[in-house]
Structure 1
Amino acid sequence: MNSRRDFLQKITATAFSIPLVAGISPKSFSSTSLPQENDKVLRVALMGLGSYANRVADAMKDCKRAKITGVISGTPSKIKVWQARFNIPDKNCYNYENFDAIKNNPDIDAVYIITPNALHHPQCLRVAAAGKHVICEKPMSINAKEGREMVEACKKAGVHLLIGYRMHFEANTKEIVRMRSEGELGKIMFFQGLSGFIIGDPSQWRLNRELAGGGAMMDIGIYSINGSRYMVGEDPIWVTAQETKTDPVKFKEGVDETIQFQMGFPSGAVASCLSTYSMNYLDKFYLNGKKGFAEMQPSTGYGPIKSWTHKGRLDLPHVTHQTTQMDEMAGIILDGKVPMIPVDGEEGWKDMVIIDAIFEAVKTGRKVEIKYV
């Protein structure tokens, strides 16, 4: 398989279905609905027209509050194809050199940045300077310093910065977070996150340190980092980590193949996680509390998500994640809606602080204190 996209699609497509257990009535499932009376739509330009942008675009066909009105790409032939697909006029099409001109385009409210990781920072700064809201794929940047600069630039410009954490709006995820926050699992003791697949094409940008900022951790391991935070309900305060590299030709210096990492939280809860580009079928979250547990497998794939707790199966009905994400983000930007699990720039920055600490722990072999400053 050539990428994380293929992996996530395949592992979730083959997951078997198990019906809901009688008596389980998740309270958070209906929270994705949006006010019918508010017909204002978020007009979005997609920046970077690769495979994931195509997935987002297909999902947005079913959105009620968001639509594609512009595109930004360095490939003229792609722009022509997208114009035909979405009836986008020439005046709403830009390349990477001239997209600052969106400042004067009333047809575009927000730009969704879906480009290689190292480009997120400079592109975000330019979009913010143009006065447009920013939706940025994760990881938001290649380090915490750049992430902080993105947050501050958007604050200064008075625009939203949202990170593409689609799982924050997913029904099974939200139900387990609700159960934890309402005390149904008791005091949280332990979280396990397994995130990995065997990456294909060795020439792809995800294995290029300059473009990716790392390897598996930036691409797939961030799911376990972010998942630990919303599942435990706290931000970790220390980390230890160990790297394993079996193929130094494919995974060059600065491109991690496999990292095991452990985190500690203020309450005393601990986490044990794995990020890898060399093992398939790793997409699992497990949360343990003194009164119960919750488990998800697949936990972050494109769906359907499979989940169960000490009370029985959940397996809530699947809605395409990106459809829900974009409608909910429209609600945040247009209506001031507050999501159950944050998706703002501060949320993305905290993940980058943790990733920086993980890389430091790998390098030094020491326990690293995590400081959110």
Structure 2
Amino acid sequence: MLQENSTTALLDETARTIACATSRRQFINHAGRGLLAVGVAGTLGPIAATPAEAADLGSGDAALPPTGPLDITLPPLEAPTDPKAGPFPNPDAPDQRVGYAIVGLGHLTLAEILPGFGQCKHAKPVALVSGSPDKMAKAAKQYGIKPSNCYSYQDYDKLKDNPEVQVIYIVLPNSMHHEYVLRGARAGKHILCEKPMANSVKECEEMIAACQKANVKLMIAYRIQYEPLNREAMKRVRAKQYGQTKLIQMMDCQNQAHDNQWRHKKALAGGGALPDIGLYCLNTTRFLLGEEPDEVFAYTYSTPGDDRFKEIEENVSFTLRFPSGVISQCLAGYGSFNSKNYMVHAETGTIKMDPAFPYKGLKQEFVHAPEGKQVIEQPSNPGKQQFALEMDHMALCVRHNQQPYTPGEEGLQDQRIMEAIYKSAREGKPVKLTAGVGKTDAFRGTPPQDDAA
């Protein structure tokens, strides 16, 4: 009893100190001693909300308003002559974030997507779907997901009964995207689907139709279109900062493991280097220019005797021609040393990204000669987690009822062009394209907020 009374008195004194403190230093001096004493006593549990407060927290409904600006001001740490610090981070309170169910626990989910939620401002993981109960239990414990929110693929449709889940993020082999988007739409959930969208134009069209019928949003996870350095490149290209763009070179190569992975099976992957990594070259070119190609010419090749490429292409080379006159040369390969970069050649300057497509460590250069002398600018990388950026964008689109910047129609257009690339490679001649030609951002929705995450 003595210990309990002492603890209560200590909390009262700490509360009075906090209320009356006139400076951060005073608060730290008083509250720090109080917290230490409480920790030693070891008698305090979580502070419970009153019934009214608990009701105000809601149940994770996406219609909850954002937390609002962090309305706290502190005296500056720097002298007036030094650069000023930016604003404080402004994340939503946890109960106001949009809840995601992640479907599939492979490399991408475990290495990038689940960790990415730690840098999200508007999104949070609330459910998992996997065919491996043991792996799912470990991941759920690591990321604070309730066991009751862990589902098998057979139980996937039960997500419709979970009000905590507003968005389903599908991270499965390409051939499974179609089925799980359709089932997710029937469950009444918004969908974020990994690229490529599907294995055929027909599947893409059915996915879009299913989401429209269910009145849910469909976004394709084109992370490059949300990454700050690539967005800066896009802005300079479209503003003609270095004059008219003339030529673009795109390269995305990697040497894959000899491990019989699903990416080497056509039925699961839909193709080889093209839909997996060549898609970055295709989609990024379209993103930078904001226009659609009107012709494509392509080649494919696979090394004889390499078991990885019995069913799929190892290498693909394709040239995109645009109505503005821009020509983009794109190369992608599954059997060569890692190289992921691009260059945009304009009249008075060049934009370089090397590397351009990895999950982190991107580097950018602007090379131009404003007064006859060559200048190289190397902007610093803000280091934003790319998956956090795209997940927050989808969360804001759900909250504000907006069309995502990279909706299903964007994925469908890439699938149309990829099918034309394969046709050109088979027939050995150029293939004409018509969809979206003459329009700017023909298949994109609401642009992302550059400071959203």
Q: TM-score interval w.r.t. the shorter chain?
A: 0.7 to 0.9
Could you tell me which of 211, 215, 234 is aligned with 2:291?
234
What SS is found at the alignment partner of 2:119?
A: coil
**Partner AA of 2:431 in structure 1:** V
Q: Is the 8 A contact 1:260 1:272 kept in 2?
A: yes
Map of 2:184 onto structure 1: 127
* Deviation of 1:50 (Å): 0.8
Map of 2:430 onto structure 1: 367
1:152 & 1:100 partners in 2: Cα distance?
19
Q: Is the 8 A contact 1:69 1:88 kept in 2?
A: yes
Asked if 1:153 corresponds to 2:210, the answer is yes
What SS is found at the alignment partner of 1:174?
A: helix
| Larger mean Cα displacement after TM superposition, 107-116 or 74-83 | 74-83
Q: Within 5 Å, give how 1:30-41 maps onto structure 2.
A: 40-41=96-97
2:193 & 2:259 partners in 1: Cα distance?
25
| Larger mean Cα displacement after TM superposition, 287-296 or 106-115 | 287-296
| Larger mean Cα displacement after TM superposition, 62-71 or 288-297 | 288-297
Residue 233 to residue 34, structure 1, CA distance change in 2 (3 Å): farther
* Deviation of 1:82 (Å): 2.1
Map of 2:379 onto structure 1: 314
**Partner AA of 2:116 in structure 1:** A
Task: Report the TM-score, using the length of structure 2 for normalisation.
Answer: 0.71
Deviation track 1:327-364 (CA, whole Å, cap 9, x = no partner) reads 2221122124677xx31111111111111111111111
**Partner AA of 2:257 in structure 1:** G
**Partner AA of 1:246 in structure 2:** T
| Larger mean Cα displacement after TM superposition, 127-136 or 173-182 | 173-182
Q: Is the 8 A contact 1:232 1:287 kept in 2?
A: no
**Alignment gaps of 5+ in structure 2:** 1-85, 369-376, 437-453
* Deviation of 1:202 (Å): 3.8
* Deviation of 1:183 (Å): 2.1
2:90 & 2:327 partners in 1: Cα distance?
36
Residue 38 to residue 58, structure 1, CA distance change in 2 (3 Å): closer
* Deviation of 1:368 (Å): 0.7
Could you tell me which of 404, 407, 423 is aligned with 1:344?
407
Map of 2:248 onto structure 1: 191
Deviation track 1:199-248 (CA, whole Å, cap 9, x = no partner) reads 11340001011110111111111100001101222111111111122134
Q: Is the 8 A contact 2:91 2:120 kept in 1?
A: no
Q: Is the 8 A contact 2:211 2:217 kept in 1?
A: yes
**Partner AA of 1:98 in structure 2:** D
1:215 & 1:250 partners in 2: Cα distance?
13
Asked if 1:59 corresponds to 2:59, the answer is no
* Deviation of 1:253 (Å): 4.7
| Larger mean Cα displacement after TM superposition, 133-142 or 185-194 | 185-194
* Deviation of 1:292 (Å): 2.3
1:132 & 1:39 partners in 2: Cα distance?
18
Q: Is the 8 A contact 2:303 2:309 kept in 1?
A: no
Deviation track 1:92-150 (CA, whole Å, cap 9, x = no partner) reads 22111121111111010011000000000011000011110000000010122211111
1:247 & 1:150 partners in 2: Cα distance?
36
Residue 255 to residue 248, structure 1, CA distance change in 2 (3 Å): farther
Q: Is the 8 A contact 1:125 1:153 kept in 2?
A: yes
Could you tell me which of 421, 434, 451 is aligned with 1:358?
421
**Partner AA of 2:242 in structure 1:** L
2:163 & 2:305 partners in 1: Cα distance?
49
| Larger mean Cα displacement after TM superposition, 322-331 or 291-300 | 322-331
Question: Which is greater in Rg?
Answer: 2
**Alignment gaps of 5+ in structure 1:** 1-29
Could you tell me which of 72, 75, 98 is aligned with 1:42?
98
2:338 & 2:244 partners in 1: Cα distance?
29
Map of 2:171 onto structure 1: 114
Q: Within 5 Å, give how 1:274-289 maps onto structure 2.
A: 274-289=331-346
2:271 & 2:213 partners in 1: Cα distance?
29
1:184 & 1:150 partners in 2: Cα distance?
38
**Partner AA of 2:252 in structure 1:** S
**Partner AA of 1:44 in structure 2:** Y
* Deviation of 1:38 (Å): 11
Residue 112 to residue 365, structure 1, CA distance change in 2 (3 Å): same
Map of 2:201 onto structure 1: 144
The higher-RCO structure (CA 8 Å, 6+ apart) is: 1
2:380 & 2:239 partners in 1: Cα distance?
20
Map of 1:301 onto structure 2: 358
**Partner AA of 2:162 in structure 1:** N
Total equivalences in the alignment:
340
Map of 1:181 onto structure 2: 238
1:325 & 1:87 partners in 2: Cα distance?
22
Could you tell me which of 303, 316, 330 is aligned with 1:273?
330
Deviation track 1:46-93 (CA, whole Å, cap 9, x = no partner) reads 000111011200111221211100011111112211221123223322
Q: Is the 8 A contact 1:45 1:72 kept in 2?
A: yes
Q: Is the 8 A contact 2:298 2:316 kept in 1?
A: yes
Deviation track 1:231-290 (CA, whole Å, cap 9, x = no partner) reads 222111111111122134424454010011111111111110101001113201111222
1:63 & 1:206 partners in 2: Cα distance?
29
What SS is found at the alignment partner of 1:190?
A: strand
* Percentage of identical aligned residues: 32
Query: What do you get for the CA RMSD once the two structures are aligned?
Result: 2.0
2:281 & 2:305 partners in 1: Cα distance?
24
1:98 & 1:38 partners in 2: Cα distance?
26
1:185 & 1:344 partners in 2: Cα distance?
30
